[in-house]
Amino acid sequence: MADDVSKHGMWSSRMLFVLAAAGSAVGLGNIWKFPYITGENGGGAFVLVYLLCIAFIGLPVMMAEILLGRAGRESPINTMRKLARASGGGNDWTAVGWMGVVAGFLILSFYAVIAGWVLHYIFLLAGGTFTGADGDFTTKTFSAFAGQTLPNIPWQELFWFTVFIAATAYIVARGVSRGLEMAVRWLMPVLFTLLIGLVVYAAIVGDFAAAWRFLFKFDASRLTADGVLEAMGHAFFTLSLGMGAIMAYGAYVPARVSVTTTAATIAVLDTVVALCAGLAIFPIVFATPGLEAGAGPALIFQSLPVAFGGLKLGALVGAVFFVLVAFAALTSAISLLEPAFAFLVERYNVKRGQVAIVAGAACWLLGVGSVVSDPFLGWVDFLTGKIMLPLGGLLIALFAGWVLAKRVVAEQLGFAEGWKWIVWSVAIRYVAPIGVVAVFAYPLVTAIHEHLHAGS
C-alpha cells in the first residue's frame, strides 16, 4: 500500500525522525505544566499513572498516526482520503485530516504569541533587567509587555510574535532535508545539553532534595480521580496527537523503521525532558523565599525571573533557560505548520517558498487576534485543546482500529498475529477511545455543572 518515498522528502535516519517527533512533543507544556501537575498529584504515584496512560492511550494513537502517515505518504488530508477509499471507509474520513491541519494552524497562531514572550525574555534576562528584582517588579514588567490590549497596540509583543512566525515559516519552507532535519539536527542536541546543564546548576545552587521529593515521592493519597484524568489528558496532549503533526512527519519515515520502537522512544524522551525540566526549575523555586511551585504559566515569566535575579550568574543562566524554552517552542511550531504546508504544496503544485508567504501571513493575521485580545487567545486555546484535538485523536483511533484494512496495519507494524497484535487491537479499538472520550467529556461536563451550579 505504501509508496517508497514521499514527494516532500524523507528523513535520512530513524534518529532524526525521533528527534523531530520528540521536538514536536517537547514544548512549553513540558517546561512548566508536567512538573507542576506531577508534584500536585502525588509525585511518583502520578508518574506511574501517567506512564500507564502513555502506554495504553498515547502510544497506540501515536503509532496509528505514524503508520497512517507512512502508508499514505502525503499530507494528513490526502493521506486520510487515500486510505479511507482503499479501505472502503468513504470520503467522510478526510475530515479527520482537515481537522488536524486546521487545529495545528490555529494552535500555532497563539502558540507563537507565547513563544514571542520567551524570545523577549531572553534579552531581558541577559541584560540584567531582573537582577535583584522582586515579585511586584516582574509582574509589572510582564503586564507592561504582554498585558496591553486595544486600543493600545502592543508593538513589542507584536514584533517578537512576528519574528517567531517568520522563523517557523522559513524553516518549514526549506523542506524536510534542508529545513526540518537541519533544525532538529542542531536544536534538539543543544536543547538536551542546555537542559542537563541547568539541572546541574540547579542541583548546586538550589534545594534539589525538596524538588526531588516534590516530583517523585510516592503519595497515593494525593492522587484523586481528577489527577488520574489529568494524567490521561496530559499523556495524550504532550505527544502532539490529533493535530496532524505526527501523521505528517510519519509520511517521511523510511519503510525499514519500526513504528512501535520509534513511538516508544519518542514517548520516553518526552517524559524524561519533562521531568528534567522539573529538576531544573523547582530546586531554584524552593530555594527562593516567597515563590510558589504551583504558579502555572506565571512561574516562567513572573516567578523564575525573581529567582534568577537573586542568584550568582543568574542573568546568564536565566537567559540560557529562556533559550532552552525558545528551542522547545520552535521545534513544536515547525511541526504545527508542516501539515498545512504539505497539503498546499500537493493541492496547488507550488514551491514551498511560495506557500511560506501565504501560510505565514495567514497565521500571522490570525495570531494578531491573540496578541491584542486575551479572550480571543483563550477561546482558540479552548476550541483546539478541549474539542478539536481530542475529537481528532478519537477519530484516528477508531479509523486505525476499525476501518483501516488489516493488511495495511500489519504491513506498517510488522505483525498481524500473536500477543503484540492482541495488545495493539485492544488498545487502539477500546482503551484509547474510551480514554480520549473521558479526556474530551470531563472538562465539558465539569464546565456545564459549574455553570448550572452558579445559575442556581
List pLDDT tens digits, range 204-252.
999 999 999 988 988 888 888 888 888 888 888 889 999 999 999 999 9
For the chain, percent of residues with pLDDT exceeding 90: 70
Dist. CA 402–CA 64, nearest whole Å: 12
Closest CA to 144 of 167, 121, 175: 121
Q: Mean pLDDT, to the nearest integer, of 1-14?
A: 83
Query: What pLDDT score does 151 carry?
Result: 77
Q: What angle do CA 386, 433, 389 make, to 5 degrees?
A: 25
Query: What pLDDT score does 340 carry?
Result: 95
Q: Mean pLDDT, to the nearest integer, of 21-26?
A: 93
Dist. CA 62–CA 51, nearest whole Å: 14
| All residues at 6 or more sequence positions from 172 whose CB lies less than 8 Å from its CB, including other chains | 179, 180, 334, 337, 338, 341, 352, 356
Taken in order of first residue, the domains within the chain and their CATH numbers are 14-455 (1.20.1740)
- How sure is the predictor about 78, in pLDDT bands with cuts at 50, 70 and 90? very high
Mean pLDDT of the chain: 91
Query: What pLDDT score does 452 carry?
Result: 77
- CA-based end-to-end distance of the chain: 57
| All residues at 6 or more sequence positions from 217 whose CB lies less than 8 Å from its CB, including other chains | 43, 44
Query: What pLDDT score does 456 carry?
Result: 54
Residue 1 has pLDDT above 80, yes or no: no
Q: What angle do CA 423, 429, 433 make, to 5 degrees?
A: 115
- How sure is the predictor about 3, in pLDDT bands with cuts at 50, 70 and 90? low
Query: What pLDDT score does 153 carry?
Result: 83
- How sure is the predictor about 418, in pLDDT bands with cuts at 50, 70 and 90? very high
Q: Which three cell numbers stand for residue 77?
A: 488530508
Evaluate whether 23 touches 335 at the Cβ level (below 8 Å): yes
Which pTM was predicted? 0.92
Q: Which three cell numbers stand for residue 86?
A: 482503499
Q: Count Cα atoms within 13 angstroms, Cβ side, for 8.
A: 35
Q: Mean pLDDT, to the nearest integer, of 270-279?
A: 91
Query: What pLDDT score does 238 carry?
Result: 87
Greater model confidence, 149 or 69: 69
Q: Which residue type does 198 have? A: L
Write out pLDDT tens, residues 336-351: 999 999 999 999 999 9
Dist. CA 451–CA 456, nearest whole Å: 9
Q: Mean pLDDT, to the nearest integer, of 265-285?
A: 92
Q: Which three cell numbers stand for residue 191?
A: 536543547
Query: CA-CA-CA-CA torsion for 57, 426, 424, 68, nearest 10 degrees?
Result: -70
Greater model confidence, 442 or 342: 342
Query: What pLDDT score does 439 carry?
Result: 81
- How sure is the predictor about 429, in pLDDT bands with cuts at 50, 70 and 90? very high
- How sure is the predictor about 85, in pLDDT bands with cuts at 50, 70 and 90? very high
* Three-class DSSP category at 218: strand
Query: What pLDDT score does 455 carry?
Result: 62
For helices 59-72 and 389-398, what crossing angle results, to 10°? 70
Enumerate the β-bridge partners of residue 218.
43
Q: Which three cell numbers stand for residue 433?
A: 477511545
Write out pLDDT tens, residues 347-371: 999 999 999 999 999 999 999 999 9
Residue 302 has pLDDT above 80, yes or no: yes
Dist. CA 372–CA 298, nearest whole Å: 19
Greater model confidence, 379 or 449: 379
Q: Which three cell numbers stand for residue 53?
A: 496512560
